[in-house]
Amino acid sequence: MYTTRLFDIGVGQTARVESLHADGAVRRRLLDIGLTRGTRATCLYAAPSGDPKAFLIRGTVIALRSEDSARVQAQAVLPVSQKEVHAWA
């Protein structure tokens, strides 16, 4: 386990949210999509240019731009269970 950013994790990797380095509207937006402390996010795939990336967050796939995913401090976790990757709707 090491501290990283959501931006840094590769396709197929999962991270647990630690804190958000954002304020104002961006912070509210990130919170609203469910990125609260302790939430797990898995990177599923990236757009053709590599940005934005699609993350599985609380059962929904949400695209985040690199600027925004770089604001999410997170702890990479080993892909604990395949269940997490697949249990999205």
Q: How far is the CB of 73 from another protein (least distance, A)?
A: 14
Rounded CA separation 3/9 (Å) = 11
Single-letter amino acid code for the residue at 9: I
Identify the burial level of 85 via C-beta atoms within 10 angstroms of its C-beta, where 0-12 means exposed, 13-18 middle and 19 or more buried: middle
Determine, following the binding rule CB under 8 A, whether residue 80 of this chain makes contact with another protein. no
Determine, following the binding rule CB under 8 A, whether residue 51 of this chain makes contact with another protein. yes
Q: Which is nearer to another protein, 56 or 76 (CB)?
A: 56
**Candidate ranges 1-9, 25-33, 72-80; the one touching another protein (CB under 8 A):** 25-33
